[in-house]
Structure 1
């Protein structure tokens, strides 16, 4: 499921799989995949879940099967760190890339990418520095305002706490659409979150049960 909205005159679809589809560009925007994060933690002796890279790639396959897509733009933090270059992680990424040989892929280098190093050349991912100006948007990792373009960024891993009766609450990943800067949720399966709040100049869209809906 998705929630369609218009931003800066462009139709964008906010997806329950924590990505944005831009129909007129046939493009997926994905922030903070953090491929290999679990592998990096295991290399440090931490007992963390297995299979997060596979889960993320299956989610990408699901999106590519659901939407007409010619390009993926990653808004930073494709790889988590130096430990993400583990053979199992890179083998899974290479196998996935071989199944999508004609898909254009661009990475806007984020803070974790600077530490991890660029993806291997055989993944055929164009790596650029921020901002990447496309149409009315400045595509970035860091959510810093741009002088002339509306910023779509990652980095923050936004989540929103829905409150019920008494002490009941749910902490859900969300999109935060602002007047000049908007945030995408972290795509990766093994990522934390930073709580954001609703304000007059921004709209929160939460994700739950494979749906996206605005917070009123």
Structure 2
């Protein structure tokens, strides 16, 4: 596991992880958004030439995090499966083996827009599926980044990335965390997910991910 970057948010300490996840020490909870398991398989089923091995990569990163951290719960902030084509046998078999390695770990999926289309994970994976929001401590855990009337929102869905500009026309597009006053965005965890460019504002902080480290942007 890479070096975490601790921040204080809503009176809690959270660790931003270069693996594109958040660890909440007080709850021993690992939060990930937008894994999109089976996305590549779904594209290949439509005849699209896309990379193989993304499910294997995503599982390997999750394995490393769960083994490195004192983790008693894993919470997915939506979009666990990408679509109906994600139910390919190879994808589900790999997920079954992964789940068996962590049989004692509590797992919860907050249903996202892709989950509604793909359907819930197989019951054999023993993943509790709930609608958004899931309220835990001072946070409203969601897929959609809609404000909550009382709690700070931790959400996915957007797949935030930030463009760093260098000299001339050089630029670099990096996955990022966008930490706002009321709503904060996690980057997409999945290895084949794309991204939506976000900007800094007076009410937000940007933490980009590069070289397996978290880099806070300064004005």
Provide the TM-score with structure 1 as the length reference: 0.99
Match of 1:21, SS state, is strand
Matched, 1:35 2:50: no
The equivalent of 2:198 in structure 1 is 196
User: What CA deviation, in whole Å up to 9, does each residue of 1:78-117 have, x standing for no partner?
Assistant: 0000000000000000000000000000000000000000
Q: Distance in 1 between matches of 2:188 and 2:208?
A: 13
Deviation at 1:164, TM superposition (A): 0.8
The equivalent of 2:73 in structure 1 is 71
Matched, 1:51 2:57: no
- 1:177 is aligned, of 179, 185, 191, to 179
Provide the TM-score with structure 2 as the length reference: 0.98
Q: Which runs of 5+ in 2 are unaligned?
A: none
Q: Distance in 2 between matches of 1:3 and 1:198?
A: 19
Match of 2:96, SS state, is helix
Measured on the aligned residues, the alpha-carbon RMSD in Å equals: 0.4
The equivalent of 1:20 in structure 2 is 22
User: What CA deviation, in whole Å up to 9, does each residue of 1:2-40 have, x standing for no partner?
Assistant: 110010010000000000000010000000000000000
1:74-85 aligned within 5 A:
74-85=76-87
Q: Distance in 2 between matches of 1:30 and 1:6?
A: 18
Q: Distance in 1 between matches of 2:169 and 2:86?
A: 39
Matched, 1:214 2:211: no
The number of aligned residues is 216
Q: Distance in 1 between matches of 2:188 and 2:4?
A: 16
The equivalent of 1:119 in structure 2 is 121
Q: Distance in 2 between matches of 1:64 and 1:133?
A: 22
Deviation at 1:73, TM superposition (A): 0.4
Match of 1:5, SS state, is strand
Runs of 4+ in 1 over 3 A off after TM superposition: none
- 1:155 is aligned, of 116, 138, 157, to 157
Q: Which runs of 5+ in 1 are unaligned?
A: none
Q: Distance in 1 between matches of 2:46 and 2:100?
A: 30
Q: Distance in 2 between matches of 1:181 and 1:115?
A: 25
